[in-house]
Structure 1
Amino acid sequence: MSEPIRVVVTGAAGQIAYSLLYMIAKGDVFGPDQAVILHLLDIPPMMEVLQGVVMELADCALPLLRGVVPTADPAEAFKDVSAAFLVGAMPRKQGMERKDLLSANVKIFKVQGEALNEYAKKDVKVLVVGNPANTNALVCSKYAPSIPRENFTAMTRLDQNRAQAQIAAKAGVPVNQVYNVFIWGNHSSTQVPDASHAKVITGPNTAISAADAVKNEAWLLAEFIATVQKRGAAVIAARKMSSAMSAAKAAADHMRDWFRGTEPGKYVSMGVVSDGSYGAPKDVVFSFPVEIKNGKWSIVQGLPINDFYQQLLTATGKELEEEKAEAFSVINS
């Protein structure tokens, strides 16, 4: 058994964390031999609820869980952490505009960036889940200058998982037989779910394109994209609350792959600081297909992008530039 690593989860009394903490503590993320100490951050009014979460974690009797630190103090929460799940944010409610969400949340992520900069390990891996995740991740990175910018990522894995599930259902195969479905751009309704590189496993050592498996190009270019783009809103409409269980699973998937690597030839979607690849604007957090080795991600290069998808990439990039400008105007006002 290796030495415990410290992992912070913000918004730890909330719904996403309720599912996520169990996944982390039982070894789904960092591996079956990696002990963890959980730092649980939430706001002062949630401390009583958080104590209930602490009790439940104890009652799970999880061998890998070596300690729990519940706190409302960012200095204590971010002290010496190796991984950060930034879940806590004002949740999006039915009818709320993204601009309202942006204004409420950017100041939270400025404070958390400053706390990471001062207290966390310098190689900490940061995953922003709280929306608008891409721009929150950018804000966070700006206020943590001593931590490499590539260590700040935003979650688009939920969108990838949604896309993978849609294709699997349409092709009539288990979801683990679909791979290389990507999400480009923003975690918003402008995101670009791209099945043009996706593969469907049809037998031992045999895979065909998603287009050949689905046999419905019109669906792939219209209904499939719209369903994934609007899935979050559809969940809110049905549940009266935003996605929680599926978001927790996606956060676990994202951090697991970041720490443990991706399989050769299989890529995953991550929001990362853009270097301008595929014509994306630079200096925004943009979702790309990446591969991960030895804890380092790299953008997959050389994928052919046709005019249909390129137009969508341009639109989602424009939205991210607008969000960035608005976020920093809020901070500087």
Structure 2
Amino acid sequence: MASPLRVLVTGAAGQIGYSLVLQIAKGDVFGKETPIVLVLLDIPPMAAVLEGVQFELTDCALANLTGVEAVTNEKDAFTNIDYAFLVGAMPRKEGMERKDLLAANVRIFKSQGAALAEFAKPTTKVIVVGNPANTNAFICAKYAAGKIPARNFSAMTRLDHNRASAQVAIKSGVTVGNVKNVIIWGNHSSTQFPDVSHAKVNKNGSEVDAVSAVGDSAWLQSGFISVRGVTVQKRGAVIIERRKLSSAMSAAKAACDHIHDWYKGTPAGSFVSMAVPSDGSYGIPEGLIFSFPVTISNGEWKIVQGLELNDFAKEKIAVTTKELLEERDEALAACGESKQ
């Protein structure tokens, strides 16, 4: 048997963590043939709950799960890991503003970035799930710099990608497996831009553009993006309103999809949405953690180039870019750093 992958999940005693760890353990991410050691991190007051999760994973009797470690300190959590799902963060609650989340979470992700630099492998790959995910990933990468390259840090916009794909499928009268190449541009927030202008739908045995398959351009520029959040932009807020809890199940699935594709690669002719450090593509400031369409091969992502953007798209992308720049500067200030 090959050496097991050490996979860290922070906030593992929480809602998303509880939904996430079984999916990783049973092979949904790295494959059923890949041995895994799961490292579960949470804060000391959650130690007993964390131990309960550890016991449950053991009781699942999964052949490829070679170990489960429940820890409450960063040194034990981050030492020699291969992948990190950074889920643990101050939770978003009904009525909470993103700026409140940002201020509360900067300290957490600054500390975890430093821990990655000190204890993790230089090849470690990181997905940040805790909100505000893009900016938390930016801070984490900054404080891991010198050990782990910035391109090994990403933030999850796959949940938004999945939401958008599902809505296109419903409107087109197909199952979601027949939809590809939806794009989420920008921030994992209500300013994100869900874009279907390059998406394809397999309908009645033929691949057609999503705009034609949907057959409702007005909806694609309004209701699809946001009607009280029922579709994409503010969907998370509506789920909190309905459940009084965040969208843990779908977030965990999306995090698994994100890392699965980073590990296994994307199919030929398909791309997915992933928030990664900008290289200046599409005019986005370099270094900003921004959601782009990407293809992935041999564990390396590449931003899809040359997509045409109309004036509507450019306007939406400008709005989400402005928000991310403001968040970045707020976060840097909270860390005692000067604005870039």
Q: Secondary structure at the match of 1:224?
A: coil
Deviations 1:195-238 (A, max 9, x none): 1111101245x300111111100011110011200101111100
Aligned twin of 2:169: 168
- In structure 1, what residue type is equivalent to 2:238? A
- In structure 1, what residue type is equivalent to 2:198? H
Aligned twin of 1:192: 193
Distance (Å, rounded) in 2 between the aligned partners of 1:30 and 1:120: 19
Aligned twin of 1:273: 277
Q: Secondary structure at the match of 1:2?
A: coil
Q: Which of the residues 324, 327, 333 maps onto 2:331?
A: 327
- In structure 2, what residue type is equivalent to 1:211? V
- In structure 1, what residue type is equivalent to 2:24? I
* Alignment map for 1:130-209 (pairs within 5 Å): 130-145=130-145, 146-204=147-205, 206-209=206-209
Deviations 1:7-49 (A, max 9, x none): 0000000011111100100011011210000110000000000
Offset of residue 276 of structure 1: 1.6
| TM-score with structure 2 setting the length | 0.96
Q: Any conservation in 2 of the 1:2–1:33 contact (CA below 8 Å)?
A: no
- In structure 1, what residue type is equivalent to 2:177? N
Aligned twin of 1:28: 28
Distance (Å, rounded) in 1 between the aligned partners of 2:223 and 2:171: 11
Offset of residue 284 of structure 1: 1.2
* Alignment map for 1:214-229 (pairs within 5 Å): 214-226=214-226, 227-229=231-233
Distance (Å, rounded) in 2 between the aligned partners of 1:252 and 1:101: 23
Q: Does 1:213 align with 2:243?
A: no
Aligned twin of 1:303: 307
Distance (Å, rounded) in 1 between the aligned partners of 2:249 and 2:24: 14
Q: Secondary structure at the match of 2:139?
A: helix
Offset of residue 130 of structure 1: 0.2
Aligned twin of 1:57: 57
Aligned twin of 1:282: 286
Deviations 1:295-329 (A, max 9, x none): 00000000011010001101100000000000011
Aligned twin of 1:116: 116
- In structure 1, what residue type is equivalent to 2:259? M
Distance (Å, rounded) in 2 between the aligned partners of 1:78 and 1:39: 9
- In structure 1, what residue type is equivalent to 2:220? L
Distance (Å, rounded) in 2 between the aligned partners of 1:326 and 1:214: 39
Offset of residue 3 of structure 1: 1.7
Distance (Å, rounded) in 1 between the aligned partners of 2:247 and 2:288: 25
Q: Secondary structure at the match of 1:150?
A: helix
Q: Secondary structure at the match of 2:224?
A: helix
Structure 2: gaps (5+ residues): none
Percent of residue pairs identical: 61
Distance (Å, rounded) in 1 between the aligned partners of 2:20 and 2:95: 27
Offset of residue 281 of structure 1: 2.1
* Alignment map for 1:41-56 (pairs within 5 Å): 41-56=41-56
Q: Does 1:317 align with 2:321?
A: yes
Distance (Å, rounded) in 1 between the aligned partners of 2:44 and 2:28: 29
Aligned twin of 2:10: 10
Structure 1: gaps (5+ residues): none
Offset of residue 241 of structure 1: 1.1
Offset of residue 280 of structure 1: 1.4
Offset of residue 97 of structure 1: 0.7
Distance (Å, rounded) in 2 between the aligned partners of 1:153 and 1:142: 12
